[in-house]
């Protein structure tokens, strides 16, 4: 089967874009990706989106965006897997090109999380939980993460500021990312003084909902136009795994089995081990999720994921650099587009185009997107060739 190359990437600044329509955001990212790919014209479009029908009152994004981008008539669909929608759309495009069904595929992750605020926005976000047994009881994704964090802190003896390292790392890395929502570093003292949102989750333990779009062009090496001296970035592993949607149905709420399986499958495909990974873009929509991902994927032993952040092991010069452009915490969390942003950032790292955010000597990167508390986990591995 053929190699799959990411030929072009594009992204918009993450922020509150009330004045920009969803289709315009998507088009801006597409234009940049197509230009970056040397003008390659896609045969199919895969859109990653989580909440446009609820927040933007717009469904049928495949046809909408294809038409607006001047691609009317091509195959175009929306892929939904909650917050992992962008990662799942990338997986669908990868399989289409890998199988030979397509020569060139376009992936777009787009979301306008700020189109609604207050109770209506909160109601939309709860739709990713179990509608029969969780959300009717008043459980929100934020409260769910807080419950997991409280239990984790109890079981592993984590101090009240034990998760500060995740926020400090993200904000430090976002300072030099021109696409990030928050480009200001914070201190431990700032973290300690932050407003409590859902005890023990404070304002710096959760990513800000935002708007944005990111895009990728996937193809095969024989289709790719001349790329000069720029290295190709290959997708060498791709996997999705799922777990129960409701947390109370799991054997162990503090271990993300879907994250473990997804990462394991992708590593097996690529014939790699974790010690060969140069950086990891995790799904830090909540600090506790980042800690549990580090443990579930095998970068840390149980109960020690928070210590990697506290000890600086996830910094750009650390043992396993994470959130290299600010992650969801500081770059901003554009819902179903988040996984495509992760992929764009991984490509920039592997091309050596990350500027001051560059991980020294990066050759292999892992990204992992989560839907909810890892009810869905999508892992991709990339390699500079």
At 353, the pLDDT band (50, 70, 90 cuts) reads very high
CATH number at residue 14: 3.40.47.10
Residues paired with 110 in a beta bridge? 213
251 shares a domain with 129: yes
Name the residue with higher pLDDT: 230 or 266: 266
Domain boundary among 163, 185, 219: 219
Compute the distance between CA of residue 90 and CA of residue 97 in angstroms, rounded to an integer.
Answer: 11
Average pLDDT over residues 140-150: 97
Residue 305 in domain? yes
Per mean pLDDT, which range of 9-13, 228-232, 244-248 is the poorest? 228-232
Residue 16 in domain? yes
* Angstrom distances, CA of residue 302 to CA of 38, 147, 250: 45, 18, 17
- Domain residues for the domain of 253 are 123-208+236-384
Average pLDDT over residues 46-67: 97
32 shares a domain with 177: no
Asked if pLDDT for residue 226 goes beyond 80, the answer is no
Average pLDDT over residues 160-175: 98
Domain boundary among 219, 252, 283: 219
Looking at the chain, the whole-number percentage of residues with pLDDT higher than 70 is 99
Residue 225 in domain? no
Q: CB atoms < 10 A from the CB of 112, how many?
A: 27
Asked if pLDDT for residue 227 goes beyond 90, the answer is no
Residues paired with 201 in a beta bridge? 198
Average pLDDT over residues 329-355: 98
Asked if pLDDT for residue 378 goes beyond 80, the answer is yes
373 shares a domain with 261: yes
Average pLDDT over residues 251-277: 98
177 shares a domain with 35: no
Token pair listed for 205: 């333990």
Residues 6+ apart with CB under 8 A from 98: 1, 2, 4
- Tens of pLDDT, residue by residue over 114-129, are 998 888 888 999 999 9
214 shares a domain with 204: no
375 shares a domain with 243: yes
pTM exceeds 0.85, yes or no:
yes
314 shares a domain with 184: yes
Asked if pLDDT for residue 224 goes beyond 90, the answer is no
377 shares a domain with 241: yes
Residue 354 in domain? yes
290 shares a domain with 154: yes
Q: CB atoms < 10 A from the CB of 117, how many?
A: 12
Residue 289 confidence (pLDDT): 98
Residue 229 in domain? no
104 shares a domain with 127: no
Domain boundary among 189, 219, 249: 219
Residues 6+ apart with CB under 8 A from 285: 83, 145, 206, 207, 328, 329, 333, 338, 370
Distance from CA of residue 352 to its chain's centroid? 20
Residue 1 confidence (pLDDT): 55
Structurally, how many domains does the chain consist of?
Answer: 2
E strand intervals along 220-265: 233-242
Residue 2 confidence (pLDDT): 78
For the chain, give the mean pLDDT.
96
107 shares a domain with 139: no
Asked if pLDDT for residue 382 goes beyond 90, the answer is yes
E strand intervals along 32-190: 44-48, 75-79, 104-112
Residue 228 confidence (pLDDT): 65
Residues 6+ apart with CB under 8 A from 298: 260, 263, 274
329 shares a domain with 181: yes
Residue 227 in domain? no
Asked if pLDDT for residue 176 goes beyond 60, the answer is yes
E strand intervals along the chain: 5-11, 44-48, 75-79, 104-112, 196-198, 201-202, 211-219, 233-242, 279-281, 364-371, 376-384
At 231, the pLDDT band (50, 70, 90 cuts) reads confident
Asked if pLDDT for residue 325 goes beyond 70, the answer is yes
- Tens of pLDDT, residue by residue over 59-88, are 999 999 999 999 999 999 999 999 999 999
């Amino acid at each position: 089967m053929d190699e799959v190359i990411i030929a072009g990437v594009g992204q918009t600044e993450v922020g509150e874009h009330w004045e920009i329509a969803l289709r315009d955001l998507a088009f801006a990212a597409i234009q940049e990706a197509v230009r970056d790919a040397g003008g390659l014209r896609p045969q199919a479009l895969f859109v990653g989106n989580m909440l446009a029908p609820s927040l933007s009152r717009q469904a049928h994004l495949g046809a909408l965006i294809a038409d607006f981008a001047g691609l009317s008539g091509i195959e175009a669909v929306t892929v939904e897997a909650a917050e992992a929608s962008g990662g799942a759309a990338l997986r669908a495009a990868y399989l289409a090109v890998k199988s030979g069904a397509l020569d060139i595929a376009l992936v777009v992750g787009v979301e306008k999380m700020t189109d609604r605020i207050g109770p209506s926005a909160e109601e939309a976000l709860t739709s990713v939980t179990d509608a029969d047994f969780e959300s009717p009881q008043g459980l929100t994704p934020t409260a769910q993460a807080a419950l997991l964090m409280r239990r984790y802190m109890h079981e592993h003896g984590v101090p009240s500021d034990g998760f500060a390292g995740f926020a400090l790392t993200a904000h430090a890395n976002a300072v030099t990312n021109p696409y990030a929502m928050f480009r200001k570093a914070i201190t431990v003292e700032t973290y300690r003084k932050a407003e409590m949102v859902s005890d023990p989750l404070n304002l710096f333990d959760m990513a800000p909902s935002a708007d944005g779009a990111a895009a990728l062009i996937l193809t095969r090496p024989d289709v790719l136009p001349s790329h000069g001296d720029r290295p190709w970035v290959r997708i060498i592993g791709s996997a999705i795994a799922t777990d129960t949607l409701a947390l109370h149905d799991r054997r162990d709420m503090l271990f993300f089995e879907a994250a473990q399986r997804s990462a394991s499958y992708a590593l097996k495909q690529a014939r790699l081990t974790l010690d060969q990974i140069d950086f990891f873009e995790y799904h830090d929509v909540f600090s506790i999720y980042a800690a549990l991902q580090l443990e579930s994927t095998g970068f840390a032993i149980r109960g020690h994921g928070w210590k990697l952040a506290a000890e600086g092991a996830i910094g750009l010069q650390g043992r396993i650099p994470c959130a290299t452009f600010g992650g969801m915490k500081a770059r901003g969390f554009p819902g179903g587009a988040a996984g495509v942003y992760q992929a764009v950032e991984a490509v920039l790292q592997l091309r050596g185009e990350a500027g001051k955010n560059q991980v020294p000597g990066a050759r292999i990167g892992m990204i992992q997107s989560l839907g909810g508390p890892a009810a869905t986990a999508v892992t991709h591995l990339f390699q500079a060739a």
